[in-house]
Amino acid sequence: MQPRISTNTNLVAFSRNGKRTMDQLIPLYARNGYEVLDLNFCEMMNPASILNGPDAWEYIDRLRALRDEHGLEYIQAHAPYPRDYAALDTAGRKASDEAVLRSMEFASALGIPHIVVHPIRGTARDNAAYFSSLLERQETPIVIAIENMETRGEIWDADTLIEITEALSPMAGICLDTGHAHMAGADIPDFIRTAGSRLIGLHAADNNGKEDQHLLPGFGTIEWERVMEALKESYGGYLNYECMFFSGHLPQLLSGEIISLSLSIGRWLLSL
């Protein structure tokens, strides 16, 4: 495991003063100690997002300029996703595919090594066919990291994710979402060790085991000592947070303290 801490750009995006976009947040993270970031292209799920419009590439150029200005690395991204792809009509699926493919193109242009995608409802075979179709249509190749979901009615376990990624090799790996795994009742260290070298991405977040709260580690009920032991054995990437919403009732002026707290918690985790 890399001894560095990363965060999804949504860490302090939400506050009582409103939501901030990636280009507003990236300098804030850099000024408060982050050197590695995970870009959240789920912004594209908002129809009004600049990433859906004619100025999208100017925005990507701005993200690239911020990366270079602050000496940052962008090590992961997250693609937009429909709530239930299988339930969409033909037009809905086409629109979803186009959004995911566009986010993959953005990530590739920024030099990001992989992009996190959600599996669809269905079997491993359904997912292999779905992702194979996307990978065949992408204009700028990028590896996908397929995320475990939070209910046992979806793709939630390491064995099924391995089956999907093996069908797509070498263009696919696994992203572990610790919060999702906790909600599904998975043994997270066992998931990590089973995934092994296929584990290329991480969403580190805590919760109460019932709700996807996206809390910082230690604020929920995950046993982080066991999780970190397994990550250090089997995972070669960064300690990457996918935490958000928890500070949504606080003012933006406290963002620096929240970011500092997240880094302190990360250093504690890496010390375990």
Arithmetic mean of pLDDT, 28-32: 98
User: pLDDT (tens digit, 9 = 90+) per residue, 203-249?
Assistant: 999 999 999 999 999 999 999 999 999 999 999 999 999 999 999 99
Contact by Cβ (8 Å): 152, 178: no
pTM above 0.75, yes or no: yes
- Position 121 scores a pLDDT of 95
Give 130's Cβ-side CA count (13 Å radius).
22
Q: What is the mean pLDDT of the chain?
A: 97
| Helices 90-109 & 124-137 angle (0-180, nearest 10) | 60
- Position 83 scores a pLDDT of 85
Q: What structural domains does the chain harbor?
A: 5-271 (3.20.20.150)
What does the block give as tokens for 252? 């933006």
The residue count for the chain: 272
Please give the share of the chain, as a percent, with pLDDT higher than 70.
100
* DSSP E strand boundaries for 135-255: 143-147, 172-177, 199-203, 239-241
User: pLDDT (tens digit, 9 = 90+) per residue, 134-152?
Assistant: 999 998 899 999 999 999 9
- Position 11 scores a pLDDT of 98
DSSP summary character for residue 217: T
User: pLDDT (tens digit, 9 = 90+) per residue, 56-66?
Assistant: 999 999 999 99
User: pLDDT (tens digit, 9 = 90+) per residue, 71-83?
Assistant: 999 999 999 999 8
- Position 209 scores a pLDDT of 98
DSSP summary character for residue 266: H
- Position 180 scores a pLDDT of 98
Residue 42 pLDDT grade (very low, low, confident, very high; cuts 50, 70, 90): very high
| Cis peptide bond N-terminal to 113, omega within 30 | no
